[in-house]
Amino acid sequence: MQVKIVYASMTGNDEDMAEILEEDLQDAGFDVDSSDVSFTDASDYLNADICVFVTYTYGEGKMTDELEDFYDQLKNLDLSGKKFLVMGSGDKTYKDHYCENVFDFEKVFLACGAEEVIQPLTVENAPDDDDIAKIDEIADELAEKFNG
């Protein structure tokens, strides 16, 4: 199965998360393509079976320009028949806005007709050992669902 991972990373935390998932999925036999949101068109998801988006939430949840551009492209796609999952980082000091962009992208994937296969994973700042274990579990679950 073809997996497309698109990540947005300001500090490197979300790129790290994307790289961990990419390696895990490749080890499980998936064909994985990963790219930075700034160099990716949302239509790249049309060639994938599983769409993954990894994003950060900056401050009080306002999307940065590159996130907003990708979001606007994404909301115009028909992703019926595609599977998706989202994950990302945020800072709990922003309380109600913690990982807000993760949930914004979850909503837009659902609006595009994609089917959510795993609930969003949210990470405070950088992924720690527990978060890495959760990413590993996501890869295992995907392998069981789609490669088993």
Q: What is the mean pLDDT of each run of 10 residues along the chain (148 residues)?
A: 96 96 97 97 97 92 92 97 96 90 97 97 95 97 88
Which pLDDT score is estimated for 117? 97
User: What's the confidence (pLDDT) of residue 148?
Assistant: 60
Please tell me the predicted confidence (pLDDT) of residue 61.
Answer: 83
Token pair 């999925």: residue: 25
Burial (Cβ within 10 Å: 0-12, 13-18, ≥19) of residue 148 = exposed
pLDDT at 94: 87
Residue 123 tokens read as 């990470």
What is the pTM (predicted TM-score) of this model? 0.96
What is the pLDDT, as a whole number, of residue 107?
Answer: 98
Annotate 76-90 with b (16+ C-beta within 10 A) or e (fewer).
ebebeebbbbbbbbb
Strand partners, 123: 89
Residue 96 burial (CB count, 10 A)? 7
* Eight-class DSSP state of 126: S
What is residue 32's predicted lDDT score, i.e. its pLDDT?
Answer: 98
